[in-house]
Amino acid sequence: EKNLWSNIDHLTKRDEVKFVMGSREDYEWSCDKVRRFDLTKRCRAVLFSPIFGRIDPRQIVEWILEDKLDVRFQLQMHKFIWTPTQRGV
């Protein structure tokens, strides 16, 4: 794993934590971390974002609603405004 879990101890109400996912497995992993570390209470917002082109964003929204998660859904808007491969936008 590439995560430094001790950083969670330093989260404040000014922080946001973002999970980027491309599959149901990623979603379940993210949900586990949100619950295990009580992230919705530790920080200002928890964001769930799809990997562009890998998963239908609506699918993640449906899962969030089914699970009644207190998270925000976020799209990478630059992927819709400019070509998805364009850098520096």
pLDDT, tens only, 16-72: 999 999 999 999 999 999 999 999 999 999 999 999 999 999 999 999 999 999 999
Q: Is residue 89 part of a domain?
A: no
Contacts with 20 (C-beta within 8 Å, 6 or more apart), sequence order: 26, 49, 50, 51
* pLDDT > 90: percent of the chain: 81
The SS3 assignment for 32 reads helix
10 belongs to a structural domain = yes
Position of tokens 């009580």?
A: 38
On whether residue 85 sits in a domain, the answer given is no
> Is 70 inside any structural domain?
yes
Q: Using CA atoms, how far apart are residues 84 and 49, in angstroms rounded to an integer?
A: 15
> What's the total number of domains in the chain?
1
- Whether the predicted pLDDT of 74 surpasses 90: yes
Across the chain, mean pLDDT equals 94
Residue 87 lies in a domain: no
Given this model, what pLDDT does residue 50 score? 97
Inter-residue contact 50 to 21 (CB < 8 Å): yes
**Range(s) of the domain holding residue 29:** 5-77
- Strand pairing category for 72-73 and 45-50: parallel
